[in-house]
C-alpha cells in the first residue's frame, strides 16, 4: 500500500506523520523545492535567527502543541516577550485599548478610549454596542457584522488592521467562521444596560488581574526546529523524500493513481500510488486535480491569494523608541502606507538581536494593494526602511546595518464568506470521483495559522479509504 504526499510544507508533513504513525509502510513525499517546511523557514545571521515566514503559532488551538509534545520539543517552547500593538493613524501612534477582543470592543466604554478613531465614529461604535445592533450571522461575513455593530469607520481603522492583517486581506469579504469565529458572540450580543455594563466592567478588571498563559508560541531555535523534527521522525519510519521534484499531473490508472513527475533538471518520470494527498496551495492543487475531477478542480480554482513581502531591518546602536511591551505597530489601509505592519522583533523575540540592535520585521502587501511588486528589492528595502522608521519614530538619519527582503508570491489564502461550504463540496466531490483515493490538505482549507494547516494534513488522511 503506497501513499504519495505532494508537498512537504507543514500540511504535507502532518499528513505523512499521521499516516506513518497509523501504520502505512510505504510513503513518498515529493516537493518541488530543495527543502521541507514551505513557508516555515528559519534563517540565520551571525549566530542569530529570524523567521522568513510565520514567527509563531496560536496555542489556543491544541493541535500545534500536541504535535510539539509528540516530537519531544516541549522543552524548547518559548513565547513572545512583548504582545501589545499600537495603531498608526494620521501620523501618530495610538494605543489599542486592552478591552478590545481582536479589535472588537465588547462594552460601550472601550470604543470611546480608541483615540485612533474620530470621535463621531467612536460614538457610533459605542451606541451600536449599547443598543445591540447586529446583522444576520448566517451571512458569514465578518465585515458586514462588524460594520453593522460598530460602523464602517471604526471597523476600517481598528478591526481591519488587526484581523485583516493576519492573512493580508480585509475583514470586508472575510468569513467569520474561519477568520474570527470567537467574535460571533461579541458582534451579536443583546443590548447592554447600566447594571450589566457595571458587572462586565468589574469582570474585565478581574480578568486583567488574572495570570494568563501565552497566546502564541514558538521554539527556541525557530519554527524550522518543528520541521526538522518531523522530517527526522519520518525518515526514521522509512518515509522517502523526493525534493526538487514537481508533480505535473495525475490520472486514474486502473485501481491506482498515476502521477507524472518532473525534476528540476528536466527529467520526467511516472509514479503509481494507491492513495495521494495533495498538500500544495489551491492553485497548483486545482491543476493537479483537473485530470481526476474537473468539478473539484474548479472549486479550488475559485480561491484567491494575496502576495506579501517581508523586510527585515537591523539598526545597530539604535534605541527602541517605543514603550516596553510593545510588539508592533499596525497601519490601516486608509493610511495608504506600503507598510501594513511593523513587528519590533528585538522586543518580541530578544534572542534574535544583538544587545544594542533594534530589529524590525516589516510587512507589505494586501489583497487590494500590491504596489510592492513594482519595486525591486533595493528600492523596496529603501522605501520600507524610511516608512517604518517614520512609523515607529526613529530619527530620519537612521540607516539599517542589516537588510533582508523575503517575497512570498500568492502566499496567503483569502477566506471569503461560506469558504467552509466550498471546501466541503470539493472534498465530497473528490472522494466520490476518486473512490476516496485522493485527498487535499493545505493552508487554504480551515483557516489561518500553523495549527489549521496541521489539522488539514491529519484530516486528509482520515478522508482516504484504502482498498
Q: What average pLDDT is seen over the chain?
A: 93
CA 80 to chain centre: 17
- pLDDT digit string (tens) for 47-97? 999 999 999 999 988 999 999 999 999 999 999 999 899 999 999 999 988
Does the pLDDT value for residue 193 go beyond 80? no
- pTM of this prediction? 0.94
Output the CA angle 358-361-362, nearest 5 degrees. 120
Among residues 304, 305, 286, the alpha carbon closest in space to that of 295 is found at: 286
Are 407 and 267 in contact by the 8 Å Cβ rule? The answer is no
pLDDT tens column, 248-278: 999 999 999 999 999 988 899 999 999 999 9
- In this predicted structure, what is the pLDDT of residue 199? 55
Strands (E), 19-64: 26-31, 42-45, 48-51, 57-58
Domains for the chain: give ranges and CATH numbers.
2-40+61-71+223-303+415-463 (3.50.50.60), 99-209 (1.10.3110.10), 305-413 (3.90.660.20)
Question: pLDDT digit string (tens) for 285-325?
Answer: 999 999 999 999 999 999 999 999 999 999 999 999 999 99
Quick one: pLDDT at residue 291? 95
pLDDT band at 159 (very low <50, low <70, confident <90, very high): very high
Q: How far apart are CA 22 and CA 9, in angstroms?
A: 20
Residue 209 pLDDT > 50, yes or no? Answer: no
pLDDT of residue 397: 72
Neighbours of 377 (CB within 10 A): 14
pLDDT at 211 over 50: no
Q: Where are the beta strands (DSSP E) in 236-338?
A: 240-243, 245-253, 256-263, 268-273, 275-278, 305-316, 326-330
Which three-class secondary structure state does DSSP give residue 441?
Answer: coil
At residue 331, φ and ψ (nearest 5 deg) are: -115, 110
Band (pLDDT 50/70/90 cuts) for residue 208 is very low
Percent of the chain with pLDDT over 90: 85
In this structure, the number of other CB atoms found within 10 A of the CB of residue 34 comes to 8
Are residues 111 and 96 in contact, defined by beta-carbon separation less than 8 angstroms? no
Which position has the higher pLDDT, 392 or 103? 392
Query: For residue 160, what is its C-alpha cell?
Result: 481591519
Q: How far is CA 203 from CA 96, 109, 131, 200, 306, in A?
A: 19, 14, 21, 5, 39
Q: Is a pLDDT exceeding 60 seen at residue 210?
A: no
* Strand partners of residue 111: none
CA-based nearest residue to 147, from 125, 168, 127, 174: 125
Amino acid at each position: 500500500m503506497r501513499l504519495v504526499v505532494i508537498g512537504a510544507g507543514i500540511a504535507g508533513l502532518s499528513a505523512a506523520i499521521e499516516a506513518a504513525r497509523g501504520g502505512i509502510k510505504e510513503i513518498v513525499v515529493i516537493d518541488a523545492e530543495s527543502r521541507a517546511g514551505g513557508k516555515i523557514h528559519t534563517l540565520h545571521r551571525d549566530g542569530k535567527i529570524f523567521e522568513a515566514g510565520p514567527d509563531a503559532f496560536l496555542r489556543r488551538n491544541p493541535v500545534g502543541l500536541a504535535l510539539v509534545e509528540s516530537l519531544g520539543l516541549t522543552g524548547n517552547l518559548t513565547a513572545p516577550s512583548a504582545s501589545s500593538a499600537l495603531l498608526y493613524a494620521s501620523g501618530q501612534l495610538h494605543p489599542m485599548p486592552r478591552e478590545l477582543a481582536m479589535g472588537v470592543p465588547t462594552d460601550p466604554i472601550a470604543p470611546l478610549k480608541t483615540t485612533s478613531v474620530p470621535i463621531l465614529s467612536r460614538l457610533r461604535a459605542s451606541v451600536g454596542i449599547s443598543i445591540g445592533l447586529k446583522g444576520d450571522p448566517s451571512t458569514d461575513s465578518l465585515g458586514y457584522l462588524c460594520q453593522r455593530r460598530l460602523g464602517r469607520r471604526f471597523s476600517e481603522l481598528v478591526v481591519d488592521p488587526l484581523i485583516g492583517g493576519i492573512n493580508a486581506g480585509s475583514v470586508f469579504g472575510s468569513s467569520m467562521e474561519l477568520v474570527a469565529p470567537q467574535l460571533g458572540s461579541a458582534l451579536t450580543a443583546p443590548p447592554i444596560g447600566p447594571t450589566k455594563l457595571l458587572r462586565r466592567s468589574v469582570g474585565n478588571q478581574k480578568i486583567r488581574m488574572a495570570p494568563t498563559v501565552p497566546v502564541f508560541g514558538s521554539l527556541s531555535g525557530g519554527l524550522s526546529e518543528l520541521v526538522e523534527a518531523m522530517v527526522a521522525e519520518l525518515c526514521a519510519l522509512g518515509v522517502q523524500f523526493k525534493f526538487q521534484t514537481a508533480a505535473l499531473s495525475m490520472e486514474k490508472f486502473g485501481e491506482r493513481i498515476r502521477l507524472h513527475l518532473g525534476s528540476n533538471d528536466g527529467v520526467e518520470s511516472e509514479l503509481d500510488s494507491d492513495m495521494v494527498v495533495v498538500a500544495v496551495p489551491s492553485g497548483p492543487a486545482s491543476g493537479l486535480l483537473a485530470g481526476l475531477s474537473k468539478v473539484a478542480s474548479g472549486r479550488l480554482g475559485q480561491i484567491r491569494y494575496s502576495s506579501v513581502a517581508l523586510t527585515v531591518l537591523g539598526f545597530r546602536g539604535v534605541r527602541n523608541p517605543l514603550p516596553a511591551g510593545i510588539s508592533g505597530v499596525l497601519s490601516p489601509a486608509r493610511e495608504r502606507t506600503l507598510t501594513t505592519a511593523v513587528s519590533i522583533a528585538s522586543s518580541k523575540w530578544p534572542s534574535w538581536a544583538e544587545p544594542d540592535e533594534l530589529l524590525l520585521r516589516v510587512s507589505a502587501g494586501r489583497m487590494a494593494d500590491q504596489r510592492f511588486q513594482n519595486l525591486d528589492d533595493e528600492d523596496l528595502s529603501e522605501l520600507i526602511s524610511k516608512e517604518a522608521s517614520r512609523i515607529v519614530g526613529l530619527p530620519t538619519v537612521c540607516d539599517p546595518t542589516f537588510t533582508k527582503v523575503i517575497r512570498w508570491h500568492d502566499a496567503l489564502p483569502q477566506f471569503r464568506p461560506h469558504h467552509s461550504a466550498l471546501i466541503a463540496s470539493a472534498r465530497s466531490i473528490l472522494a466520490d470521483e476518486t473512490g476516496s483515493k485522493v485527498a487535499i490538505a493545505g493552508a487554504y482549507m480551515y483557516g489561518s495559522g500553523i495549527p489549521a494547516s496541521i489539522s488539514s494534513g491529519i484530516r486528509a488522511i482520515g478522508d482516504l479509504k484504502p482498498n
